[in-house]
Amino acid sequence: MPALRLPLEIKIQEPSPSMDDAGGDILPSLGRVRLGDLAAVEGLASDSYKICVSTLMQSLAQYSAAIIQLPPADAALLRSGLDSARLFFHQRVYDSVGDVVHSDDAREWKTSGYYADPQMWLEMYDYRPGVTVREHGGAMELSPSGLPDIFSMLGKVCRDILDAVSFSLNLRSCVFTEILDNMPLRSQEVSSSVLSACCHSRPSFEEAQQHGIASPDDSQLLMFSEQEQQIDKTLLTLVKSDRSGLYIKDLHGRWILVDGDLGPHDIVVYPGLALYQETSGYVNPAVHKTEAWWFRDGSCWSWC
């Protein structure tokens, strides 16, 4: 669903515990924690907060991912965003000249707005505060609805998770503050975070049809990204999709489907390379890949 991308430089005190000490027992499955229990408050940490942080960190250590349960209002906002993104992509007319991203371009070639990667059967719309998106003719580009509210909500979720990470590693609670965006952004500032709505293998996506993909009735057709082992250059990634297909390698190198059992209030979080660097290697980055069924689409990503 979205993506919150942050700078990579920060100086922190040396953490004392390691990820191996993040929790006592081995978790039988992906750890699931309530966002309400993960929110830090003034004073001494409660037992429920300590248990929640322990579960989160142990899940990140074993599975390189965890499940966060959002409050009903936040979950409803996310559901509305998915529905709006699906409608946006279904109505979008693909421009093979202006919308395409070339394989030799960096992902940052276009920091906001719509673009497509025909080779990956992937369309995306990036929302980045501080950037005004215009189409080729100079008109304002239409976007899925609700992105500013979703961006704000997921940004707070990311900050709560980062606070939990710093608590687990005995770091100061403000340790990540200097690499996060100002809140709110100052005049003329562009956010270092980005919220992305993604659509995999839309049936009417012209480039997919040109590649000779089977008809929508072929329910067995699936594909994996050519970049099968990806590591995000981010602190955290939050994912919410309307169809499962996100695989992450666990501690033993096995591919685990991490979004196959998500409830309506659940999102997946996994760490990126920036968090690995900023914690001196105590939080390993997730290695992931995406399975795409060509007749289904609609997903939301959030990188932090």
pLDDT in tens, 131-182: 877 665 556 678 899 999 999 999 999 999 999 999 999 999 889 988 899 9
Do the Cβ atoms of 69 and 34 come closer than 8 Å? Answer: yes
Give residue 173's pLDDT. 86
Which residue has better confidence, 117 or 128? 128
The reported pLDDT for the residue numbered 83 is: 93
Say if residues 164 and 283 touch (Cβ distance below 8 Å): no
Q: What is the pLDDT averaged over residues 224-245?
A: 81
Of 101 and 255, the structure prediction assigns the larger pLDDT to 255
Q: What is the pTM of this model?
A: 0.80
With cut-offs at 50, 70 and 90, classify the pLDDT of residue 256. Answer: very high
Q: Quick one: tokens of 291?
A: 């399975």
Overall size of the chain counted in residues: 304
Give the Cα separation of 61 and 169 in Å (integer).
13
Instruction: Please state whether beta strands 122-127 and 194-200 pair in parallel, antiparallel, or not at all (unpaired).
Output: antiparallel
Query: Smallest Cα–Cα separation from 121: which of 270, 245, 266?
Result: 245
Question: Domains in the chain, ordered, with CATH?
Answer: 19-303 (2.60.120.330)
Find the mean pLDDT for residues 220-245.
Answer: 75
Cα→Cα distances 239→133, 140, 209, Å: 24, 28, 27
H or E segment and range at residue 73: helix 72-91
